[in-house]
Structure 1
Amino acid sequence: MAIGVLGIAPAFAEGGFGSSISGWLPGKDSRSWKDNNSDSVSTSVKFAGCSVDNGRFTYAGIQLKKARPGLPDTVVNRDDNHCDTSSFGDKAGGTYYFHYSNLNGQDSVSAYLSVDTVTVRY
């Protein structure tokens, strides 16, 4: 009996980058990236090695924003990142970035966020 194997190609992200965060207060934005929407991969932001200098880290509130020249940028998704992966789904073409909006639900804090590894895929 012959068994055939159907080859299914894995989905590869159009792009991505790695970075880190050192001493961010809520209100800070990441670098931006251009998503041409040439694939069907979910846009994601992964945090690893999260800490704050004053207090306890539970989660970082982040917003995925789409840049709109001449207009206010649009918040397209929000997530509470518990030092894990925030997945935002397949996004339309455009320029995106994430906005650090709060620490543990508080937008006015004096604790500085640090993240050893930030991985963005799109």
Structure 2
Amino acid sequence: MVAVKRVLKKTTMAAAVGATLLAMASPALAEGKFASSFTGWAGGKESRSWKDSQADGAASQVRLAKCSWNGPGGAKEAAPVLALWHEVGGLPDDKVGGNKGFYGCGKGDVTNSWGKPGWSGNYHFTLQTQGADWYRYSAGWVGVWY
């Protein structure tokens, strides 16, 4: 009986550790998510769209990692700035919140949140123009939670 209790205790501990690691890896209660990357993007380039039904309490978040650009300092100085947009059919898209800078994503992963937008519909993010028109950004990994 004592051996069974030890096994159960170890199993419970392992499950708790696994659940904690999973919770840290992605935002809790997200309605949806996807992973991607981008290469050679200039300012104004849009991501793919996703549908957020606002059926949860989760914020819209983007995480970038392994960033680089062709500007001064190379990968270690890459600092793309993104904006989140709510797509409005037949009208200009609505910008959700302000621009978010991903400073340091050439050295590690950086996450930014726009909060919970509040409207059901399609969304995308756009790389904002920074300085010269010839600057190009890349991100080896992009995670989106909504």
Aligned pairs, how many?
110
Moved over 6 A (4+): none
Superposed counterparts of 1:65-104, under 5 Å: 65-77=85-97, 78-82=99-103, 83=105, 84-92=110-118, 93-103=120-130
Q: Higher helix proportion, which one?
A: 2
TM-score normalized with structure 1 length: 0.83
How far apart are the structure 1 equivalents of 2:126 and 2:134? Answer: 17
More strand by share: 1
Using CA pairs below 8 Å that are at least 6 residues apart, which structure has the higher relative contact order? Answer: 1
* Contiguous gaps of at least 5 residues in structure 1: 1-9
Same amino acid, percent of matched pairs: 35
1:31 aligns with 2:48: yes
1:111 CA displacement: 2.4
C-alpha RMSD over aligned residues: 1.5
The offset of 1:109, in angstroms, is 3.0
Write the distance in 2 (CA, Å) between the matches of 1:113 and 1:52. Answer: 4
Structure 2 unmatched runs, 5+: 1-22
Q: In the alignment, what sits opposite 2:17? A: none
Distance 1:58 1:18 in 2: 20
TM-score (norm 2): 0.70
Q: Select between 34-43 and 58-67 the one with higher mean Cα deviation.
A: 58-67
Structure 1 position 75, deviation (Å): 0.8
Displacement after TM superposition at 1:119 (Å) = 0.2
Summarize deviations over 1:10-46 as a string: whole Å, max 9, x none: 7421001000010101110000100000100111010
Higher Cα Rg, which structure:
2
